[in-house]
Amino acid sequence: MINFRYLIIRILSKIHTLILSNSYNFIGNKTVVYYRSRIINKVKGGITIGNRCLIGRTSYEYHAGMPFYTTLLNDGSNSYISIGNNCRLNGVYIHSQDYITIGNNCVMASGISIIDSNAHQVNSLNRLEGRDKAKGITIGNNVWIGLNAIILKDTIIGDNCVISAGSIVKGNFAKNSIIQGNPAVIVGTVGFDNN
């Protein structure tokens, strides 16, 4: 039996992806941007998404809450967002004013924010004026980020890392790390069976 709901969502998402694929964005082959997801790019060529990615999804039948749909916002003067191949971003908010790079085969749950700027300056006599200096974020290959995690500016996450739900992550984390907490620390390592 045909599920008309999914058929309509697929058609709308394919049309949405075609509309978003323009001179300001590069969207790879077989990548689909869910029709409620947003790409806001103020820099020509500033957002690149690899092949076979799923950017956003419906909250219907998702295993957890979906507080917002996926948004990619790129608005620095020379900023960019780069997402590798075979990634799945479910309800993720990404805002770049410097750079945010995400490797291949990454999976991100809903409620995640990845932001390379604090927006306001720490040392300020007037919180309504001025901006802090943005510093980039690098996320390696095969990274899994759990529900509601926050990735802050000036962070490097190595290949194969797992970030626990609700963690607030800032700093440099070696590959194969299990990262957890606020502030996030390494609590273990990912083990691989070579057999």
The catalytic site residues sit at 120
Amino acid at 60: Y
Determine phi and psi for 73, rounding to 5 degrees: -120, 120
- For residue 144 the two structure tokens come to 């899994």
Q: Give every CB contact of residue 184 below 8 A, 6+ residues apart in sequence.
A: 163, 164, 167, 168, 169, 170, 171, 173
Question: How many residues are given for the chain?
Answer: 195
Give strand pairing partners of 156: 138, 172
Give strand pairing partners of 187: none
